[in-house]
Structure 1
Amino acid sequence: MAYRPTRSNDWGFPRWRGYGSGRDAKPVRLCDRHGCEEPGDCPAPKSPNNPERWYFCREHAAEYNRGWDYFQGLSAEEAAEREAEESRGAAGYERSRHYAWSGPGDGTRSRDELRALAALGLDDEATFDDIRAAWRRMAKENHPDVRPGDPDAAVRFQAVQAAYEVLRSAEERRSPA
């Protein structure tokens, strides 16, 4: 009869054992860079369109990516043609993917609102009371009747008015009716 060990990993209570807390050794793949003893957890292609991968540590993966040239071996005309061909289809919109679902920052203000806040000289977290105070102050400073000899005052006044209108309409949309 074969010897069976009587010691278990869970002391008879399977729910006491956490997931992945076995006593077995975990396999660790080392970095494929010669002489490196760090774990290789960053896959990198060995060549374009090849399923085989190198596995590097983070430091050597960064070094590999700095030297990677997608258009290696192509002339300038062939590289431009391939780039145009790949961006012609729906994959060309991948560059603007970050515009898909969220706006800039934390998503509470649109891009136009952020531009309007910058025109009023306010930060992104300004309340509507701060916006109204800045609008009144800047409108009084740049009003064409206050500065009759300054031709740029009318342009600044119109910019302040447009910024306030954008922020006021956004505030009205946000506030419950």
Structure 2
Amino acid sequence: MVRQTRSDNWGFPSWRGYGKSRETVKVRICDRHGCTAPGICPAPKSPNSPERWMFCQDHAAEYNRGWDYFEGLSAEEAAERERQERATAAGYTTSKHQQWAVRGDEGRSADEMRALDVFDLAPDCSFEDVRKAWRALAKETHPDVCPNDPAAAKRFHAGQTAFEVLRQAEERRSWKG
């Protein structure tokens, strides 16, 4: 028996049998009676069972069409289960970097909420409301209007900072679409 010491495979696919293997590939057929399509979608045979049906995409859609997640639960139990699952999925519902969803306060950050408190505005106000509130505050507390009042100067500076925070947030929202 002669032992080969060198390989003819230099790393080029055209020099070796690229994709020409004759090994059998195991394909599971759809478990729906009479279907010959490959079964690529697993579906549970029963609740809490590790056994799975394997359906093609068409029959998997048909299998799931009548599925009711809350079947067999009373209205109170269904509401409690939904509440628990929403509580544990909070990271998905308020993911800020993906903008998947927003909270009831229109997705404003803590900094924006503090800035709105400076103007005594509601969380769902528009940027035009912010602009109007800033102008009114500036007319009342501007250093030219109240030259020797340190409290007015402090309030003016707080309003200026709050307006800048809200302006930048509005620009970010308009850039994202």
Q: When the two structures are superposed, what TM-score results if normalisation uses the length of structure 2?
A: 0.46
Q: When the two structures are superposed, what TM-score results if normalisation uses the length of structure 1?
A: 0.46
User: Which protein has the larger Cα radius of gyration, Structure 1 or Structure 2?
Assistant: 2
